[in-house]
Amino acid sequence: MRIKIALAGNPNSGKTTLFNALTGSNQFVGNWPGVTVEKKEGGLKGHKDVTLTDLPGIYSLSPYTLEEVVARNYLLKEKPDAILNIVDGTNLERNLYLTTQLLELGIPVVVAVNMMDVVNKNGDKIHVKKLAEELGCEVVEISALKGTGIKEAANRAVALAEQKKAMKSVHTFSSRIEEALNAIEAKLPDSVPEEQRRFFAIKLFERDDKVKEQLKPVPDVEDIVTAAEEELDDDSESIITNERYTFISSIITDCYTKKSKNKQTISDKIDRIVTNRWLALPIFAVVMFVVYFVSVTTVGTILTDWTNDGLFGDGWHLLDIGAAEYADASDAYSLERTKIDAYLAAAEESGIDVEAVTEALDPETENPDASAVTAFEEEAAAAGIEGTAEIYNDEGEIEETFPVSLEDFQTAAQAEEPDPANYGVWVPGLPGLIKSGLESINCAPWLEGLILDGIVAGVGAVLGFVPQMLVLFIFLAFLESCGYMARIAFIMDRIFRKFGLSGKSFIPMLIGTGCGIPGVMASRTIENERDRRMTIMTTTFIPCGAKLPIIALIAGALFHNAWWVAPSAYFVGIAAIVVSGIILKKTKMFSGEPAPFVMELPAYHWPTVGNVLRSMWERGWSFIKKAGTVILLSTIFIWFVSNFGVVDGQFQMVEDLSDGLLAVIGRFIAPIFSPLGWGEWRASVAAITGLVAKENVVGTFGILYGFAEVAENGWEIWGTLSSSFTGLSAYSFLVFNLLCAPCFAAMGAIKREMNSAKWFWFAIGYQTIFAYLVSMCVYQIGMLVTAGSFGVATVISLIVLVAFFYLLFRPYKESQRLEKEVRV
């Protein structure tokens, strides 16, 4: 028969570290109260028939937090064969409070005093033998981090479990309470086993409703309890609490010799500075700036560029050898191409047929026709053609113009495209390798398209963010493990509490400015379920890195790069979070007692490299796995609907995106967006492709407006775009794309973190409907103000606006529901 051993202890007592060491399984260890929210199991190393269960970190067995209820139900109903109670040796008094309760359950207990290395270093002494005597159970000294004593602790627990002997607690309370407890015990039904009678008696004395549910019939002990309460002038629960602490105080002096009393610990000193009234925010800002600067802008960008342009692009120069030379050669070549294009354009304007020569000079053309070039040169010379080349900068402004003569054209026509492989050490990218591999096995063109344009491009675009995310995860794991994360929550709590979020929501949102996926995943550090859900739902409102090109496109095309467009996008995002927070807080789904901020701040300590890396890897890996499933399927779907369609009555692969099924879908759903001012199929299609990755919106516009490739801000299509959009409709398009459902990868993250289909769809639905309504209000009310137009949609928008304000300012009725509440 399998032996079950439960691992119980306070949050931050090193329980999870011990669990990992004993089972050898991979689990994240965070220096964060209540990191273990779920029950985890693992086989004990060296004992095949022993299962170890890691209970949530709890301070007591009272029914006030979700963790406590989970742990208590497990201990009472599953009845493990032994409990391994891990206590923090540096904080013995508080930790023994739980121990006294565990001892009453009748299950054999082994107390493992953890952090003995720290205790010894402080020069303190714990008299283990004396402690064992007073508690009436075995006590072992361990250090979970260093791995000392843990084998012995586990072996003792296994030995006790094998004996199958119920254990009776030896600690007693004051005689008045004992009297009352004995009276209650006598009233308990016979079905309660001997070893649990004391536990039930104490719980009945405390008027614990959840325990009453487990008793049939419930004995009436009210008069006993009331009598004791009146006599001691306190409520029964407080009486027991005080009795426990009195018992602990009575034994602690004999068991624990403290070398230095009232000496400030290092953590206290750090906290004096880090949470200082004046210094807290500046220090916090500096830390956040460093995290953001390194992971989102500098190192992160380098890594992201490498994966996107190198690994999943054309390739890269190893260690940048030859990169600069290639860039120069490439620039020189594109200048020559500009000259050619300018000359050809001038020639075409003068009525010369340039079709043959264009074809011959196209670098893509195989076996170019040299005679066409010669013929053209003769014709151009006869006509005396002079071209004017225009050099554009990144903003789409003309930087330089210069004349192009026939000689210039002739030299330019000789220029050859530089091959990066000829410069330095060139490593080709994955798509190129796969392409040549597929070509060598004569793969069908459609399959090649699916693999390269669909799968590799789609999944690659998502995986491109992995290195950046890993950098970010290292920071997060470090902040979490060293203990600073708990302080961040404390510092930011007052601000975020106002709109229904917690201080811990700040981190996900900050990270969300880089990428929403790690942002959503960072919400895991929020253990209050309500706060976490709300954070997950609102984090992606913040414009992420991939949304910046959309902002640049709209700002450039319709607002002449006005300075206010980009900041306003962030403002819209922040406003959406605040408004959603306030509105949602008042809904039934999120109602509940606002949890008062009471949180244990763990002692600062240097995290181990292993723990940080393990945490980074776990989060990174779960994302990569998602890219391999959800994202893979959705990119294949988008690729399919973009590349297949009905042309000439036949279902076939299409060359042009505007013939594909996606365009059909776009035309079909376009009317939905008419009230938003952009009921045009191209915009709809762009919004759909934005679901794969937000930066696709710009690329799609480029393709749909007839440019094969556009710059990141799409300046080539600014002209065309400004003719099909008005300022208002473009801003409404921008707002919609900023706020609506994020890309598939981020949706995948939301699904995973919500861990419930219902909440996932609620989040996505809320985001999309919210985005729709806000964009509609922007457009319709904007139209009313600027053009005075008034219609059905205007009326609806005004109603929506009023509804928004109502939801925002209606009184906040505190709900009576408490059951889901978890401590913060």
| Residue 812 to residue 806: CA distance in whole angstroms | 11
**Look-up: residue for tokens 């219609």?**
791
Closest contact distance (angstroms) between CB of 156 and another protein is 26
Q: Which is nearer to another protein, 155 or 241 (CB)?
A: 241
Pair 756, 701: CB distance under 8 Å: no
Query: Contacts with another protein in 580-639 (CB under 8 A)?
Result: 593, 596-603
Does 792 bind another protein (CB under 8 A)? Our answer is: no
- Stretch of residues binding another protein (CB under 8 A), selected from 314-322, 350-358, 487-495, 724-732: 487-495
DSSP 42: E
| Residue 769 to residue 771: CA distance in whole angstroms | 5
Q: Which is nearer to another protein, 62 or 689 (CB)?
A: 62
Q: Which is nearer to another protein, 259 or 625 (CB)?
A: 259
| Residue 636 to residue 632: CA distance in whole angstroms | 6
500 labelled ligand-binding: no
Closest contact distance (angstroms) between CB of 596 and another protein is 5
Q: Which is nearer to another protein, 65 or 539 (CB)?
A: 65
Helices 266-274 & 484-497, crossing angle to 10 degrees?
A: 30
| Residue 714 to residue 550: CA distance in whole angstroms | 9
Cite the DSSP H helix spans in 10-127. 15-23, 66-73, 92-103, 116-121
Among 4, 37, 64, 130, binds another protein (CB under 8 A): 64
117 labelled ligand-binding: yes
**How many other C-beta atoms lie within 10 A of the C-beta of residue 671?**
11
Q: Which is nearer to another protein, 47 or 176 (CB)?
A: 176
Strand ranges, E, within 644-738: 644-647, 650-653
Closest contact distance (angstroms) between CB of 479 and another protein is 16
Among 179, 237, 325, 448, binds another protein (CB under 8 A): 237
Instruction: Return the structure tokens found at 206.
Output: 């405390």
Among 17, 20, 65, 538, binds another protein (CB under 8 A): 65
Nearest alpha carbon to residue 543 among 569, 520, 505: 569
**Total residues contacting another protein (rule CB under 8 A)?**
45
331 labelled ligand-binding: no
**How many other C-beta atoms lie within 10 A of the C-beta of residue 189?**
11
**How many other C-beta atoms lie within 10 A of the C-beta of residue 297?**
12
CA 371, 372, 373, 374 torsion-angle sign: positive
Residue 514 CB partners (closer than 8 Å, separation 6+): 292, 295, 296, 300, 468, 472, 544, 545
Closest contact distance (angstroms) between CB of 608 and another protein is 21
- x/- map, 43-62, another protein, by CB under 8 A: ----------------xx-x
Closest contact distance (angstroms) between CB of 127 and another protein is 17
Q: DSSP for 575-591?
A: HHHHHHHHHHHTSTTT-
Does 821 bind another protein (CB under 8 A)? Our answer is: yes
Helices 548-558 & 565-585, crossing angle to 10 degrees?
A: 130
Q: Which is nearer to another protein, 573 or 602 (CB)?
A: 602
Closest contact distance (angstroms) between CB of 42 and another protein is 27
Nearest alpha carbon to residue 253 among 124, 98, 434, 418: 124
10 labelled ligand-binding: yes
Chain centre to alpha carbon of residue 822: 21
35 labelled ligand-binding: yes
Closest contact distance (angstroms) between CB of 504 and another protein is 12
Q: 446 to each of 452, 558, 656, 680, 692, how far by Cα in Å?
A: 10, 38, 14, 29, 20
Closest contact distance (angstroms) between CB of 428 and another protein is 54
Q: Which is nearer to another protein, 698 or 822 (CB)?
A: 822
Does 286 bind another protein (CB under 8 A)? Our answer is: no
- Stretch of residues binding another protein (CB under 8 A), selected from 38-46, 131-139, 239-247, 439-447: 239-247
Closest contact distance (angstroms) between CB of 542 and another protein is 25
Q: Which is nearer to another protein, 61 or 515 (CB)?
A: 61
677 labelled ligand-binding: no
24 labelled ligand-binding: yes
Closest contact distance (angstroms) between CB of 271 and another protein is 5
36 labelled ligand-binding: yes
Length of the chain: 824
Pair 132, 171: CB distance under 8 Å: no
Nearest-10 Cα torsion for 476, 477, 483, 489 = 30
Closest contact distance (angstroms) between CB of 246 and another protein is 9
The amino acid at 300: G
Does 491 bind another protein (CB under 8 A)? Our answer is: yes
Q: Which is nearer to another protein, 244 or 532 (CB)?
A: 244
Closest contact distance (angstroms) between CB of 153 and another protein is 22
607 labelled ligand-binding: no
Closest contact distance (angstroms) between CB of 238 and another protein is 7
Residue 439 CB partners (closer than 8 Å, separation 6+): 448
Q: Which is nearer to another protein, 186 or 818 (CB)?
A: 818
Q: Which is nearer to another protein, 116 or 579 (CB)?
A: 116
437 labelled ligand-binding: no
Query: Contacts with another protein in 84-123 (CB under 8 A)?
Result: 90-94, 97-98
Q: Which is nearer to another protein, 490 or 718 (CB)?
A: 490
Chain centre to alpha carbon of residue 157: 38
Q: Which is nearer to another protein, 222 or 268 (CB)?
A: 268
| Residue 465 to residue 518: CA distance in whole angstroms | 10
Closest contact distance (angstroms) between CB of 95 and another protein is 9
114 labelled ligand-binding: yes
23 labelled ligand-binding: yes
Query: Contacts with another protein in 242-281 (CB under 8 A)?
Result: 242, 245, 262, 267-268, 271-272, 275-277, 280
DSSP 146: T
Q: Which is nearer to another protein, 244 or 752 (CB)?
A: 244
Q: 546 to each of 703, 707, 722, 760, 772, how far by Cα in Å?
A: 18, 21, 22, 22, 20
Residue 570 CB partners (closer than 8 Å, separation 6+): 542, 543
**Look-up: residue for tokens 């614990």?**
208
12 labelled ligand-binding: yes
The amino acid at 526: I
**How many other C-beta atoms lie within 10 A of the C-beta of residue 443?**
17
Binding-site entries for Mg(2+):
20-21, 23-24
Binding-site entries:
9-16, 20-21, 23-24, 34-38, 54-57, 114-117
Binding-site entries for GTP:
9-16, 34-38, 54-57, 114-117
Give me the residues that bind another protein (CB under 8 A), please.
Answer: 59-60, 62, 64-65, 90-94, 97-98, 237-238, 241-242, 245, 262, 267-268, 271-272, 275-277, 280, 486-487, 489-491, 493-494, 593, 596-603, 818, 821, 823
